[in-house]
Chains A and B, each alone.
Chain A
Amino acid sequence: MERPLLLDVADLQTRFHTPEGTVYAVNGISYRLHEGETLAMVGESGCGKSVSMMSILGLIPIPPGEIVSGTARYRDRDLLRMSEEELEQVRGKEIAMIFQDPMTSLNPVLTVGKQITEMLQKHMGMKPAEAADRAVQLLEWVGIPDARRRLADYPHQFSGGMRQRVMIAMQLACTPSILIADEPTTALDVTIQAQIMDLVIRLREEVGMAMIWITHNLGVVAGLAERVMVMYAGFIVEEANVDDLFQDPRHPYTIALLAALPRVDRRRDRRLKSIPGAPPSLLVKPRGCPFAPRCEFVIARCQSEMPPLELIAPRHKIACWVDVLRGGSR
């Protein structure tokens, strides 16, 4: 009953060559996205979430960036080997993106109406009048009141939450098959975040698209995702269905992260369990498991060899030498 494969990323490695040294941002990650599926990528700031997505969309500045290895099969083509013109077609129409800061994809000196209609004319071949009507529909669709009048407004005249809605309307106008959302609600208040999440859940059903949702918030993951990838220092360390990840986490980092979170829906029953130390610098070439210095289950092998991401149960993968249930090596 598995849905058809849409995106197949394998062994992606991205680095940046900076004056301070080489940044090992993404260190050989592999994952698959199926039609209509919602995949979440969760991890702390700087762990390589954005870089891993920008890499497959040709958005990494080269130099200083370098895609050292990898393939990203989308339908029958490898995104990492496409020309800039081909990629531009894919980005506008088939793979849409929304970001934490909507101003990165909105032009501050053009009215919102102009930006949406131009895009519809370019990608959908619409005539100006047709595009204008469609723009009003799109803004209404994402819940902007008084949409026709607001076409004449500039992005700065919208609040943060409204701007995010405008960006969503623009990005979904061409009914893409994949939406990549990079922390689109991180800068918003929880009430506005809830509105945007509800909107995206509704649109996901209407458009029938697959989604990759990047976040550092495990609560957002629980509310949206079907499958989850946990990232740490440029590696995927655990991947599972959302229920398994939260009920039966198997990587020490995931376990520690969940234990460090307080719950809004429960009485306090203990002190928070904190994770000692801090994530490693990505300026050091990874050797061994990057979580080893903070891991309570660490064994000798962790220091010298990075464990591969392997199946430990149906549809549940971890990159860890240790069996946390029994203790000791797997």
Chain B
Amino acid sequence: MKISGFKYLANQGVENIWKNKMMAFATFCVLLISLLLVGSSVLFYLNMNSMILGLGNQNEIAIYLDPNTSQADVDTFGYKLKEMDNINTVDYISKEQAYQTMQNQISRGKAIFDYIDGYDFMPDGFNATVVNNDTIEDTVAQIAKMEHVESVSSMPQVAEFLRELRRVVSIIAGAIIIALAAVSMIMISNTTKASVFARREEIQIMKYVGATNSFIRMPFFVEGMVTGFFAGAGAFFITWAVYRSVYRILTEQGMLMRAFGIGSIIPFDNIRLYVAFAYLLAGALIGALGSVVSTRRHLDV
């Protein structure tokens, strides 16, 4: 095909949007709603996930070393700990700090501590947070095998609970997203079918004058793609506006933030490009494929 022919077909596609404004608008709306439904559930899921992970990151591993470990060995241990794959942050708790904490925790213990001389009997300790809470038990086991370690502990129930929670949330969200996507596909295919049906005679005439299927489909492809692209853009701006206001409202609630890990809500700026890209791509692709697929049964003449 020559460039001129290609240009003609692309122009036809854009012109057709204008000529069939009503149907194009219907397709636009259906695509917009579908993208918003699926897009917002995906974003909701991603945030739930991030929040649960955030909570998990507060899950700490407490490590106590043999009280007789030399300071140099303690430092080396801290360094090694930090180097581990799944370790995120490491807090060193010196013998002295541990002693202070203990004193404070035992409220009436001031007297007891009077009998004790110095704090050398206290172990050096580390509090570590993990990158992935799911494998915290493996990490604990790994640390337990290291030199100088007297005891390692985490709260496996927390990790277990969060892991389970995440699994359930993923399943539910996955099901909802799949259901919404399916409903969207049906809506989109019905709309594009109606739009193509209105022009079936046109398609038939084109077939009679010897147009190939791809020649007939090309304008439909362009038309669907452009409509879908605009729907994607619309969905993006709506999502942006809504997301930002929800984000602001939630993050203003300091208490909620701490309690439910709302601090881990993803700021829109971090994902803006991905969201835009996903919406535009999905819109254009679904729009184009939807209208092309719908032409199929009218082409067989």
Q: Do A and B bind each other?
A: no
